[in-house]
Amino acid sequence: WAETGRIENAPPGLFLVAGLGDKDDGKWVTQAETGLPVRIPARSTNTELDTCAKCHSRRRAMTDGHAPGEPFLDGYEPSLLLAGLYHNDGQILDEVYVWGSFVQSRMHAAGVSCRDCHDPHSNQLVAQGNALCTQCHDSGTLDRETHYHHAAGTPGSSCVDCHMASRDYMVIDGRRDHSFRVPRPDLASVLKTPDACSTCHAEGSSWAADKIAEWTGEKTLPPHPGEILARVRAGELEALDELESLIQDEDTSDIMRATAVFELGLRLEPPHMGTLIEAAHDSSALVRAAAARATEVMPPESRAPLIGHLLDDDVRAVRVSAGRSMAAAPLTSLDPSLHAALGRAVQEARNAELANGERPGSWLNLGVLEADQGHFDQAEHATRRAWKMDPDLVAAGVNLADILRMQGREEESREILIKALERHPNNPSLHHALGLAWVRADNPEHAVEHLAKAAAWDPSDPRLALVHGLCLSQLERHGEAIFALENALQMAPTNGDLRLALIDSLRAQERWNEALTHGQELLRQRPKDAMVVQLLREIQQDADR
- Distance between CA 334 and CA 217 in Å, rounded? 59
The reply to whether 282 falls in a domain is yes
- Distance between CA 279 and CA 258 in Å, rounded? 8
The reply to whether 474 falls in a domain is no
- Distance between CA 431 and CA 444 in Å, rounded? 14
**Are 242 and 312 in a shared domain?**
yes
Looking at 356, 390, 411, which one is the last position of a domain? Answer: 356
**Are 204 and 239 in a shared domain?**
no
What letters, b where the CB count within 10 A reaches 16 and e where it falls short, cover 270-284?
eebeebbeebbebeb
**Are 199 and 118 in a shared domain?**
yes
Q: What pLDDT is stored for residue 4 in this prediction?
A: 53
pLDDT tens across 459-513, in order? 999 999 999 999 999 999 999 999 999 999 999 898 999 999 999 999 999 999 9
pTM (two decimals):
0.91
Residues of the chain short of pLDDT 50, as ranges, are 1
Looking at the structure of the chain, the number of domains it has is: 2
Q: Which amino acid belongs to residue 267? A: R
Q: What pLDDT is stored for residue 2 in this prediction?
A: 53
What is the DSSP pairing of strand 166-169 with strand 173-176?
Answer: antiparallel
Q: What pLDDT is stored for residue 20 in this prediction?
A: 72
The reply to whether 450 falls in a domain is no
Q: How far is CA 478 from CA 86, 456, 487, 493, 509, in A?
A: 41, 18, 14, 20, 7
- Distance between CA 208 and CA 410 in Å, rounded? 60
**Are 168 and 46 in a shared domain?**
yes
Enclosing domain of residue 152: 27-212
The reply to whether 123 falls in a domain is yes
Q: What pLDDT is stored for residue 25 in this prediction?
A: 74
pLDDT tens across 50-106, in order? 999 999 999 999 999 888 889 999 999 999 999 999 999 999 999 999 999 999 999
